[in-house]
Amino acid sequence: MKTYYITYPHGKYKAITLSYDDGKVQDRRLIDILNRYGLKGTFHLNGGLFPTEDEVETPDSRIKKSEVASLYQGHEVACHTYTHPTIARCPIDKVADEVIMDRQVLEELVDYPVCGFSYPNGSYNQAIQQLLPLLGIEYARPVGSTKNFSIPENWYEWQPTCHHNNGLIALAEEFTQLHKSQYLYLMYVWGHSYEFDHDENWELMEEFAAHVSKDESIWFVTNIEYKRYMEASKRLVFTNKGDKVYNPNAQTVWIRINQYVFAVKPGMNDLSKNQ
């Protein structure tokens, strides 16, 4: 009997995603590091807090609207509410306004659907979790650290592995040593880019990026790309014999059957021809 596994793209079994909030000017330096090492991040912005174009920039400034599309190209822009309130204390209809207005502003800047979210101040409740999918939000990230590499069970309570100041290098070393390819692992790092200035520890992200970029078994991915890929993998339909698989998605999903890795393209795929 053959063993069937879902894998990450190209048969990889480890993934790393990063998530940074508030859109401060330090995002420039962070994105430069990510780009140099081939990592990807998700950046959660507040549509109502952008500075004016003629405002004098300070180390505490946010990125201006005119820079958003170019700076975050290749990464993900996601929601963080329009004005950054502690939303568990807000009337639920006002929470809806915060998300909708944030999406509208950000989508005008990046020209694609903005469907990710992080809870401002880590604030949320069950009613907010139930609201977000009705507003077009596909996942939401709270604060905190699990210190593990598990796959999320609730996309609206997607707990990160760690804040970058919470054991990042030790966890990265543990992560790169994982070798059991019958599992899927995810390392999720979060924070605020301005914290690197405050803590004077930019070398932390340099060391992390340099270390993990050498591991060819890691898929570097944005939050939304990861969520959509994992959801797409659940929609594959195999024949009982297992020699064919139908992929109803618009994207390719990768699987492994025994030692063989297959790219399951959209539509019907004949697996017997490739073994």
Residue pLDDT, tens place only, 166-205: 999 999 999 999 999 999 999 999 999 999 999 999 999 9
- In this predicted structure, the answer to whether residue 65 has a pLDDT above a threshold of 70 is yes
Question: Tens of pLDDT along 69-102?
Answer: 999 999 999 999 999 999 999 999 999 999 999 9
pTM > 0.85: yes or no: yes
- pLDDT for residue 221: 98
Cα 15–17–18 angle (5° rounding)? 155
Superfamily the domain 16-223 falls into: Glycoside hydrolase/deacetylase (3.20.20.370)
Cα 40–44–48 angle (5° rounding)? 150
- In this predicted structure, the answer to whether residue 68 has a pLDDT above a threshold of 70 is yes
Tell me which residue of 256, 201, 209, 208 sits closest to 233, measured CA to CA. Answer: 256
Question: Tens of pLDDT along 221-246?
Answer: 999 999 999 999 999 999 999 999 99
Domain limits, the chain:
16-223, 235-274
Total Cβ atoms within 10 A of residue 40: 20
Distance CA 138, CA 225 (A): 11
Half-sphere exposure of 214 (CA within 13 A, CB side): 10
**Where on the phi/psi map is residue 260: left (φ > 0), alpha (ψ -120 to 50), or beta?**
beta
Kindly indicate the confidence band of residue 103, based on its pLDDT and cuts at 50, 70 and 90.
very high
Q: Which helix (H) or strand (E) holds 6?
A: strand 4-7
Kindly indicate the confidence band of residue 274, based on its pLDDT and cuts at 50, 70 and 90.
low
- In this predicted structure, the answer to whether residue 275 has a pLDDT above a threshold of 60 is no
